[in-house]
Amino acid sequence: MQYRVVFAAACGFVAQSHAARTWNATKARNFIYIVPDGFGPASQTMARDYVSLLQNGENPSAPVSFQLAADKLVLGNVQTLSSDDLITDSAASATAFACGVKTYNDAVGVDASGSPVGTILEAAHLAEYKTGLVVTSVINHATPACYSAHVLDRNSYEDIAAQQIGYSHPLGSVVDLLFGGGRCYYKPQSDSGSCRSDDVDLFSWAEEQGYRVMQNREQFDKLEKGKGEAAVLPYIGLFNDDQMMYEIDRVRHETEPSLLEMVETALNTLDRATADSEKGYFLMIEASRIDHAGHANDPAAHLHDIIMYNDVVDYAKEWIDAHPDTLMMSAADHECGGLTLNGFNPLPLRGVSASLEEVNRLWSVYNGTDRRGYLVDEILPMSGLAGLSDDVVDMLLSLEDSELISQLSGLISDAAGVHWSTGGHSAVDVTLIGYGAGSKGSELRAAMAGNWDNTELPRFIENVLSVDLTAVTQKLRASGTDWVPKKSATFTKETNGEAPLISDCKKLIEELAGAKNSVIHTSGWKTVAENIDEFAIVRSVGTCSFGSRLTAYGHLSDPAEVDQTAKPWLSLITY
């Protein structure tokens, strides 16, 4: 009983201290926030030890203490839970980072009730700061979306893209500079490279609003690292129809700019654009694909994108030393992969020259007659697995493509002593780093040392830039809520604890796709935000996600619009 009393008192103290935190921190003209998506403490250890061994004798039996750029700037750590789960997704966490509120997993720029909330980027825009988003995911992925859009579900990619560029945002265009992937969401469905379901041409619309549009490396290079005549805001550069390449693949192809090149270009452009202004800029940078490699349990891709993240941190520090009216903070939205380093020796990763994503692409498009030779001579060497026994090669050749990639992940990870507890996110705290020059740095360290809830970080930035998140929320809600796209919900079938198969995913999507524009029975089914009243309409069906349950995403109408006397078309079954 005594321990229970002490525990309850401690919990009350923690909750009170978080709610009461305020800052009298230094002011700054510019703020850089960097999100290494899916990056946990073990991720940094893996990268640090890898670089240290390469630079200090390559002998894991005689390791040398070493620090990467992020190690030198540690302030504390950050809690990541969402409003409805101890394990957050990127949308809920990015909404916390951008808006300072807790919300449910999948929510983008809305609170737990689904109402829009202002973002720190929007607040900066309304206060006449210049703003930018630089990512390596699709530009309308969860993290950048939460700074620039408001939808009830992160899978509303078309709506997010339209809001980000200002086409359907109630505040108009709030982002001056956008770099990333996701070209297909900006092209009308008539374009062969489009993934939109309508005829909206966001690239053409952006050009009409004065945006410079870039879709390839050649056009990016004309910016001359942000110092050329072409580097005039506003502009948007999307360099892949889908996600941008992993760094390990990008260096082989060189058809896309690196994250560091995009950051350098963005900072130079923003600095020039605000040279004669009292207000500076807010820039959000995301090393997006660290997370994707964690989901894929791909240690080499994870490693190289982490090294790139540290290069970006180092560049940001040098930039701030030369521009001391700037502050920088960085924390991940969550950890991904449940990475552990039992029996760790990263040196075998040196022989890996391609991500599992690239390996899968090459293997799936091979149409030659000698699959064994292609596997042994091409696929395995680029995976760092040359010299496998004939028995292992035979085993790999007997597998379906997706199973082969999973086996390669295990073989690469085992060789390096890298182990994954999940293909999803974990609940661990993430590291907070930050930097300011001179007295601003001292004040930053004094203000932000310690353990923080993720909702507190934008409140600190709000204070530093003297902007007003509440005012933005009020302005958004003054426009009503009809502009917020309707909720995308999840349809789930149990798989009796067994790992779901791709065939299960296809079957579920086929069943739900048949329900498009039809009424389905959903009695007893609860969505993340609300109970749907008996019936709903499936508007569209997207892709599956894999975990302990098999899930497909469907876009729902407002239940109030549904004829509840209609006969149910489909009853969702658990199996």
pTM assigned to the model: 0.84
Q: Does residue 6 form part of some domain?
A: no
Given 82, 83, 90, 545, the catalytic residue: 90
Q: Does residue 8 form part of some domain?
A: no
What Rg value do the Cα atoms of the chain yield, rounded?
Answer: 24
**Are 264 and 404 in a shared domain?**
no
Q: What distance lies between CA 532 and its chain's CA centroid?
A: 29
pLDDT for position 113: 85
Q: Does residue 186 form part of some domain?
A: yes
Choosing from 417, 448, 464, the residue where a domain stops is 417
**Are 201 and 69 in a shared domain?**
yes
**Are 452 and 406 in a shared domain?**
no
Judge contact between 107 and 149, C-beta under 8 A. Answer: no
**Are 245 and 375 in a shared domain?**
no
pLDDT in tens, 312-342: 999 999 999 999 999 999 999 999 999 999 9
**Are 336 and 307 in a shared domain?**
yes
Q: How far apart are alpha carbons 288 and 305 in whole angstroms?
A: 9
Q: Does residue 330 form part of some domain?
A: yes
Judge contact between 464 and 31, C-beta under 8 A. Answer: yes
Q: What is the crossing angle of helices 90-99 and 456-465, to 10°?
A: 30
pLDDT for position 525: 29
**Are 377 and 283 in a shared domain?**
no
Look up 90 and say whether it is catalytic. Answer: yes
Q: Does residue 501 form part of some domain?
A: no
**Are 37 and 86 in a shared domain?**
yes
**Are 335 and 389 in a shared domain?**
no
Which residues, given as ranges, of the chain have pLDDT below 50? 1-20, 488-506, 509, 513-575
pLDDT for position 556: 40
pLDDT for position 133: 99
> How many domains does the chain divide into?
2
Q: Does residue 454 form part of some domain?
A: yes
3-state secondary structure of 571: strand
pLDDT for position 500: 41
**Are 383 and 430 in a shared domain?**
no
Choosing from 397, 417, 437, the residue where a domain stops is 417
**Are 105 and 126 in a shared domain?**
yes
**Are 118 and 61 in a shared domain?**
yes
Q: Which two tokens stand for residue 338?
A: 């449940």
**Are 225 and 355 in a shared domain?**
no
Q: What string of DSSP letters covers 253-288? A: H--S--HHHHHHHHHHHHHHHTTT-S--EEEEEE-T
Q: What angle do CA 361, 363, 364 make, to 5 degrees?
A: 65
Q: Does residue 18 form part of some domain?
A: no
Q: Is 452 exposed, middle or buried (0-12, 13-18, 19+ CB in 10 A)?
A: buried
Q: Which two tokens stand for residue 309?
A: 């993240």
Choosing from 459, 479, 499, the residue where a domain stops is 479
Q: Does residue 550 form part of some domain?
A: no
**What contacts 34, CB < 8 A, 6 or more positions away?**
284, 285, 286, 287, 309, 312, 313, 316, 328, 329, 330
pLDDT for position 350: 96
pLDDT in tens, 383-392: 999 999 999 9
Judge contact between 520 and 532, C-beta under 8 A. Answer: no
Residue-number span of the structural domain to which 364 is assigned: 347-417
Can you give the CATH number for the domain in which 279 is found? 3.40.720.10
Q: Which two tokens stand for residue 185?
A: 């969401």
